[in-house]
Amino acid sequence: MKYMLDTDTISLVVRKDHDVIKNLIEHEDDEILISAISYAELSYGLEKRGSEKLFSEVNTVLGKLSIVAFDDSQSELYGKIRSKLEKSGTCLGDMDMLIAAAAMNENAVLVSHNVKHFSKIKGIKVEDWKGSKQKNSK
């Protein structure tokens, strides 16, 4: 099984959240991915904060993960997700829909602390590794 970490989950790893790290080490390195979109969000956050220490900590984590490039099939899936959500009157941020498209395209479980948020997208698999139990949405 593949797991794509959402930006908030990577932040929890950097902050050394015990539960998230425990779940993370239960999986092989090649099972864990992040989207280029999450990488972009992290890069923006690092530039904004300007902290050398934080930059080093985030890059240590990222150095252990596979970053999935955003491609045309993910772009098409994003278009479908956004169109369906708009038709149903549901609104999500563009970056979140792009991350969801990346996870779905990789047939990966999206690991996010925003399960309720992402569960608005039909067909996505989401887990929350923060807390004592994994919370799932399918």
Enumerate residues 6+ apart whose C-beta is below 8 A from 79.
none
Task: Per-residue pLDDT tens, the chain, 138 aa: give them.
Answer: 999 999 999 999 999 999 999 999 999 888 999 999 999 999 999 999 888 888 888 888 888 889 999 999 999 999 999 999 999 999 899 999 999 999 999 999 999 999 988 999 999 999 999 974 455 555
Packing angle between helix 36-49 and helix 7-14, nearest 10 degrees?
50
Structurally, how many domains does the chain consist of?
A: 1
Residue 79 belongs to domain with CATH number: 3.40.50.1010
Provide the domain limits for residue 63: 3-137
Q: Which residue, among 101, 14, 8, has the nearest Cα to 62 in the 3D structure? A: 14
Closest C-alpha to 132, from 16, 9, 22: 22
For the record, the structure tokens of 60 come out as 């240590």
CA distance 103 to 89: 23
Best CA proximity match to 133, nearest among 19, 2, 1: 19
pTM of the model: 0.90
Write the CB contacts of 108 (distance below 8 Å, at least 6 apart in sequence). 1, 2, 3, 4, 33, 125
